[in-house]
Amino acid sequence: MAFVYTNPNPISNITGDCVIRACSIATRRSWDATYEDIAALGQKMGLMPDKGAVWGAYLRQRGFYREIIPNSCPDCYTIKKFAIDHPQGTYVLAIDGNPGHVVTVVNGDYLDIWDSGDEIPTYYYYKI
């Protein structure tokens, strides 16, 4: 269970595209295709592509389900701990804040462009 540097951005930009990166990794689709689909869905919904309602709808269209992180330790359950507790499967975790963040956990590793393991997720999507 570890941080794995992963950047599907086609020109390796380090930019505010965490929604596209995370959804691209989780769905195993290219960054470009993911960007186009989420942007089109956002336009249809009248919302920006990085809004949770947009990328959540995108994931649900692809068979993902949403769950809330249990409230037993809302300030101490980190991405690192989530990854340890979920050694199998694909998950997209949302971190509230300003700015917020989205990260993917695959088979116990969290894939991102920076070590976000100490961040606190509030909800996640998973695929059976």
Report the predicted TM-score, pTM, of the whole model to 2 decimal places: 0.95
- pLDDT for res 63: 97
Report whether pLDDT(98) > 70: no
Burial class of residue 70, CB neighbours in 10 A (0-12, 13-18, 19+): exposed
pLDDT band at 33 (very low <50, low <70, confident <90, very high): very high
Question: What integer is the mean pLDDT of 20-39?
Answer: 98
Question: What integer is the mean pLDDT of 115-122?
Answer: 95
Contact between residue 79 and residue 103 where contact means Cβ atoms under 8 Å apart: yes
Contact between residue 53 and residue 19 where contact means Cβ atoms under 8 Å apart: no
CATH of residue 41's domain is 3.90.70
Count of domains for the chain? 1
- pLDDT for res 72: 81
Q: Which domain holds residue 69?
A: 3-127
